[in-house]
Chains A and B, each alone.
Chain A
Amino acid sequence: MMSIPIIAQAKIYASVEQAQKILFPKKQLSKSPILITDDLQERMRQASSIRHPFQGDRIWKTADGSWLIVDEVVGKHEMITYAVGMSSKGSILGVEILEYVESYGYEVAEEQWRKQFIGKSATDPIKLNQDIQNISGATLSCKHLTDGVKRVTVLFEAALKAK
């Protein structure tokens, strides 16, 4: 049974293309997907405590060896899609939030909640209230995102550094 949250909000801040322009202005990026082995997947999981698999197909590279990686983190109450810019040496140049989806309502098991959104784009027909801009009292933890960035740095060390 898939639960539909009573109230959900989605905020779409930037597309991948816009994130490329924000993090690497005036640079050309070429798509550079990575095959994520089970071993690497496990190392990323251990370093970050994020359970859902990393998708290796959202990685781009600039001519001077910098990287743009798009990933998402999913918690019980929110899903955040974000982009990380990394230098060729692995230092983080910037982190930009692309989408933020929040759900409340039924007790949604993490797995079910996640299935609703993973791989969906903003245009998918999920009933989301997209018009609400300014919410006071929204002090939400961004710990999940910190974990997400951690796993991206593990990805760099293990798979991107040598490329």
Chain B
Amino acid sequence: MKTRCQALLGTFVEISVDQDEHLSAIDKAFATIKLVQHLMSFHNPLSELNAINQRSHLSPITIHPWTAQILHIAHEIYTQSNGLFNCGIGHRLVAAGLLPQHLDLAQYQFGGIEDIKFITPMLITSSKPLCLDLGGIAKGFAVDQAVEVLRINGVESGCVNAGGDLRVFGSSPRPVHIRHPKSPGQLIEIGSIHNGAIATSSLYFSKRDRKHSHIINPLAKSDSDIHADFSESSSIVANQCVYADALTKVFALSKNDDHPCFNHFSAQAIRIAA
């Protein structure tokens, strides 16, 4: 087995392949993740995501097929979760100092993912100004794209792990650990994953670093409800990492391990109490 690691998507991304002859496939998989980052980064003012945020309410914008795909998935999860997952919360993270400020927040009444309309498969417009952040879904999406690239390049089995959003593919199952939310240095082995994905949301590092919670409740009625506060960790197992990643937010906010949308996406919830 060969594992490489690069810093991408604001975290450390590990790519493991079981056969050493496929090392060039790892380069291609990292390049894929870099493309996802280039398209969907909130931090990079020149990303396609920021073009959508700056202009989609003014004029139609042509987007990359992957951006179109992630917006469709985000909208599907928004619908199935009754609005509990919504990427239109970027301004909340900006206001809390968790994301850089590219827009004057005071000037806008922001809409959400539901305000995006597809004119053609790659041309979108928005009925309201947007401050989308794909931080709750893009890592999972990038992991899935990287797995696709590894497979196309002949890799039969391996694993892609973007800071804990991970997917295992191929013939060999791999053991997976989850951090103990009370003491994140302790790891709990939860079993093995064979052709599947897992992602985890928790606040132990935010609390350690004394930052605002990055889990935003898009349905918050009052200011005090915007940043969700909890001590447990919420993991989701799903077939694809994009769903695992996004659904951890639905789980963390609803605290319902039997939320109807998990069944819809063939996902399973695992809570670890602090």
Q: Do chains A and B interact in one complex?
A: yes
- At the interface, yes or no: A88 with Cβ under 8 Å from chain B? no
Residues of the A chain whose Cβ atoms lie less than 8 Å from the Cβ of B235: 136-137
- At the interface, yes or no: B198 with Cβ under 8 Å from chain A? yes
Residues of the A chain whose Cβ atoms lie less than 8 Å from the Cβ of B202: 137
Residues of the B chain whose Cβ atoms lie less than 8 Å from the Cβ of A97: 4-7, 12
User: How far is it, in angstroms, between the C-alpha of A132 and the C-alpha of B187 when the chains are bound?
Assistant: 9
Partner of A104, one of B11, B163, B183, B200: B183
Contact residues, B111-159 vs A (CB, 8 A) = 159
9 cross-chain pairs, A with B, having the tightest CB-CB distances, nearest first: A104-B185, A137-B200, A138-B164, A97-B5, A7-B185, A142-B7, A136-B200, A139-B163, A137-B179
Total interface residues on A, CB under 8 Å, equals 31
- At the interface, yes or no: A6 with Cβ under 8 Å from chain B? yes
Interface residues, chain A, with chain B CB atoms under 8 Å away: 5-8, 11, 13-14, 22, 77, 82, 95-97, 100, 102-105, 132-142, 145-146
User: How far is it, in angstroms, between the C-alpha of A96 and the C-alpha of B13 when the chains are bound?
Assistant: 11
- At the interface, yes or no: B59 with Cβ under 8 Å from chain A? no
Known: A136-B177, A137-B179. A96 touches B184 (CB 8 A): no
Residues of the A chain whose Cβ atoms lie less than 8 Å from the Cβ of B187: 7, 132, 135
Residues of the A chain whose Cβ atoms lie less than 8 Å from the Cβ of B164: 135-139
Residues of the A chain whose Cβ atoms lie less than 8 Å from the Cβ of B89: none
Q: Is the CB of B163 within 8 A of A138?
A: yes
Q: 8 other contacts beyond A134-B166, A134-B176, with CB at 8 A cut-off?
A: A7-B185, A22-B27, A97-B5, A133-B175, A135-B176, A136-B200, A137-B179, A141-B209
Query: Among A7, A100, A145, which residue has the most Cβ atoms of chain B within 10 A?
Result: A7
Query: Among B12, B27, B163, B199, which residue has the most Cβ atoms of chain A within 10 A?
Result: B12
Shortest beta-carbon distance from B13 to chain A in Å: 9
Shortest beta-carbon distance from A98 to chain B in Å: 8
Q: Which residue of B lies closest to A8 (CB)?
A: B185
Q: Is the CB of B11 within 8 A of A140?
A: yes
Q: Is the CB of A13 within 8 A of B168?
A: no
Q: Is the CB of B4 within 8 A of A22?
A: yes
User: How far is it, in angstroms, between the C-alpha of A5 and the C-alpha of B184 when the chains are bound?
Assistant: 13
User: How far is it, in angstroms, between the C-alpha of A132 and the C-alpha of B6 when the chains are bound?
Assistant: 18
Contact residues, B168-226 vs A (CB, 8 A) = 168, 174-179, 181, 183-187, 193, 198-202, 204-205, 208-209
What would 20 A/B residue contacts be, using CB atoms closer than 8 Å?
A: A11-B14, A13-B5, A22-B4, A77-B208, A82-B7, A97-B12, A102-B185, A103-B185, A104-B185, A132-B177, A133-B3, A133-B174, A134-B175, A134-B193, A135-B178, A135-B187, A138-B163, A139-B205, A141-B11, A141-B209
User: How far is it, in angstroms, between the C-alpha of A3 and the C-alpha of B233 when the chains are bound?
Assistant: 28
Taken residue by residue from 1 to 29, chain B's Cβ proximity to chain A (1 for < 8 Å, 0 otherwise) reads as 00111110011101010000000000100
Known: A7-B186, A136-B166. A141 touches B159 (CB 8 A): no
Q: Is the CB of B5 within 8 A of A142?
A: no
Q: Is the CB of A11 within 8 A of B161?
A: no
> How large, as a class, is the contact surface on chain B?
35 or more
Q: Is the CB of B159 within 8 A of A13?
A: no
User: How far is it, in angstroms, between the C-alpha of A134 and the C-alpha of B237 when the chains are bound?
Assistant: 14
Q: Is the CB of A137 within 8 A of B3?
A: no
Residues of the B chain whose Cβ atoms lie less than 8 Å from the Cβ of A22: 4, 27
Query: Among A100, A103, A104, A136, which residue has the most Cβ atoms of chain B within 10 A?
Result: A136
User: How far is it, in angstroms, between the C-alpha of A139 and the C-alpha of B139 when the chains are bound?
Assistant: 10
Query: Among A103, A105, A142, which residue has the most Cβ atoms of chain B within 10 A?
Result: A142
User: How far is it, in angstroms, between the C-alpha of A133 and the C-alpha of B6 when the chains are bound?
Assistant: 15
User: How far is it, in angstroms, between the C-alpha of A82 and the C-alpha of B14 when the chains are bound?
Assistant: 14
Query: Among A22, A82, A139, which residue has the most Cβ atoms of chain B within 10 A?
Result: A139
Q: Which residue of B lies closest to A134 (CB)?
A: B176
Q: Which residue of A lies closest to B183 (CB)?
A: A104
User: How far is it, in angstroms, between the C-alpha of A142 and the C-alpha of B166 when the chains are bound?
Assistant: 17
Residues of the B chain whose Cβ atoms lie less than 8 Å from the Cβ of A8: 185
Known: A136-B200, A138-B163. A11 touches B5 (CB 8 A): yes
Shortest beta-carbon distance from B11 to chain A in Å: 6
